[in-house]
Amino acid sequence: MKILITGGAGFIGSAVIRHIIENTQNTVINLDKLTYAGNLESLNEVSTDPRYFFEQVDICNRAELDRVLSHYQPDAIMHLAAESHVDRSIDGPAAFIETNVVGTYTLLESVRAYWNDLEPKKKASFRFHHISTDEVYGDLEGTDDLFTEKTSYEPSSPYSASKASSDHLVRSWLRTYGLPTIVTNCSNNYGPYHFPEKLIPLMILNAIDGKPLPVYGDGMQIRDWLYVEDHARALYKVVTEGEVGETYNIGGHNEKANIEVVKTICSLLEEFVPNKPKGVEQYQDLITYVTDRPGHDVRYAIDASKIERELGWTPEESFETGIRKTVEWYLNNKQWWGRVLDGSYSMERLGQGS
């Protein structure tokens, strides 16, 4: 297969590309605009493989999308390109509407034109896989409730509203035009190559630098944590074995309160980095409670029984094994996150092409 992946230089996208190149014989076309969160250094270990291609393209650019589809003739699209940071969506929602809604619409129209011109056999096997989030479902009230594929949408932030909009667009292109689409909604991802503004890498890097560990509100917001490499396996299984028109929820079966996550990181750092920054007696002493963000959902939790039942996928990592691997990765890969923090990773973007 030839699989075109939008947003392939991002956190989840790069994990999917690494998984496909390292574990299959498929060809991957990475289409990425290279915004602040896109980092080609996350793909260094596969970037020289002859089955990997890169195109620096904005999904809002219809002419460039048409060119890429015509040139590479992909058998499937995995659409991961998105603005994804909730705090950024609160401060500046316009970029989220542009990329997540207008960009998805533009991509759907380009793919629809390409798909309509395919010969019958290739047209029948083609798939458009849209990767979304559990945040579209909003907040869970009860302590035992779970998001299922039938849960109604109640997004709380500009980010989740823009992703909900893109989900609706994808499903309507199936219903109206027959475009063979599949949607997945995942829980919170974590793992190697995660952009440092996100909770887990932020806490690791702040702690080893002796900086405060900012926790929103009382820290009791509960999330279901999914190791990114488990997610990558699930996404590949869906695009190759999933049924057109279906939705699959992907979760890690690891509900943890944010404060529990932060304290777990602190405990691991006590083990791995006992020589603390000057003035720090225990890493947990750095925890600082800050004003909660507007519209902050309290609890997310995924029922991932459908993908297990129908496609045979289950996560391989528990939170305990995954978070240990993640902390160790950040401690051993200062060059990667150091170049992100000082901005040098982004200085080489100009002129990036295929």
Alpha-carbon span 238 to 76, nearest angstrom: 11
Per-residue pLDDT tens over the stretch 58-77: 999 999 999 999 999 999 99
- Three-state DSSP string of the chain: CEEEEECCCCHHHHHHHHHHHHHCCCEEEEEECCCCCCCHHHHCCCCCCCCEEEEECCCCCHHHHHHHHHHHCCCEEEECCCCCCHHHHHHCCHHHHHHHHHHHHHHHHHHHHHHHCCCHHHHHHCEEEEEEEHHHHCCCCCCCCCECCCCCCCCCCHHHHHHHHHHHHHHHHHHHHCCCEEEEEECEEECCCCCCCCHHHHHHHHHHCCCCEEEECCCCCEEEEEEHHHHHHHHHHHHHHCCCCCEEEECCCCEEEHHHHHHHHHHHHHHHCCCCCCCCCCHHHHEEEECCCCCCCCECCECCHHHHHHHCCCCCCCHHHHHHHHHHHHHHCHHHHHHHHCCHHHHHCCCCCC
Residue 350 has pLDDT above 60, yes or no: no
Residue 352 has pLDDT above 80, yes or no: no
Quick one: pLDDT at residue 351?
A: 35
Please give the average per-residue pLDDT across 318-328, as a whole number. Answer: 97
Beta bridge partners of 224: 255
Quick one: pLDDT at residue 346?
A: 63
Decide: 201 and 330 in contact? Cβ < 8 Å: yes
- Three-state DSSP string of 200-219: HHHHHHHHHCCCCEEEECCC
Alpha-carbon span 319 to 1, nearest angstrom: 33
- In the annotation, is 135 catalytic? yes
Per-residue pLDDT tens over the stretch 80-109: 999 987 888 899 999 999 999 999 999 999
pTM: 0.94
Better-predicted residue by pLDDT, 25 or 221 = 25
Per-residue pLDDT tens over the stretch 284-312: 999 999 998 787 878 889 999 999 999 99
Alpha-carbon span 3 to 109, nearest angstrom: 18
Please give the average per-residue pLDDT across 16-34, as a whole number. Answer: 98
Quick one: pLDDT at residue 87?
A: 81
To 10 degrees, the CA torsion angle through 179, 159, 295, 221? Answer: 90
Active-site entry in 134, 229, 255, 303: 134
Decide: 220 and 258 in contact? Cβ < 8 Å: yes
Alpha-carbon span 24 to 337, nearest angstrom: 28
Please give the average per-residue pLDDT across 165-183, as a whole number. Answer: 98
Residue 338 has pLDDT above 50, yes or no: yes
Phi and psi based region of residue 195 (left: phi greater than 0; alpha: psi -120 to 50; beta: remaining): beta
The rounded percent of the chain whose pLDDT value lies above 90 is: 86
Place of tokens 């999933």: 242
Residue 333 has pLDDT above 70, yes or no: yes
Active-site entry in 135, 224, 229, 297: 135
**Averaged pLDDT of the chain:** 94
Residue 222 has pLDDT above 70, yes or no: yes
- In the annotation, is 98 catalytic? no
pLDDT bucket at 345, cuts 50 / 70 / 90: confident
- Spell out the residues 6+ positions from residue 177 whose beta carbon is closer than 8 angstroms to its own: 112
Alpha-carbon span 117 to 78, nearest angstrom: 19
Please give the average per-residue pLDDT across 327-341, as a whole number. Answer: 95
Active-site entry in 114, 159, 227, 345: 159
- In the annotation, is 248 catalytic? no
- Spell out the residues 6+ positions from residue 74 whose beta carbon is closer than 8 angstroms to its own: 2, 3, 4, 29
Quick one: pLDDT at residue 348?
A: 46
pLDDT bucket at 144, cuts 50 / 70 / 90: confident
Domains and CATH numbers, the chain: 2-348 (3.40.50.720)
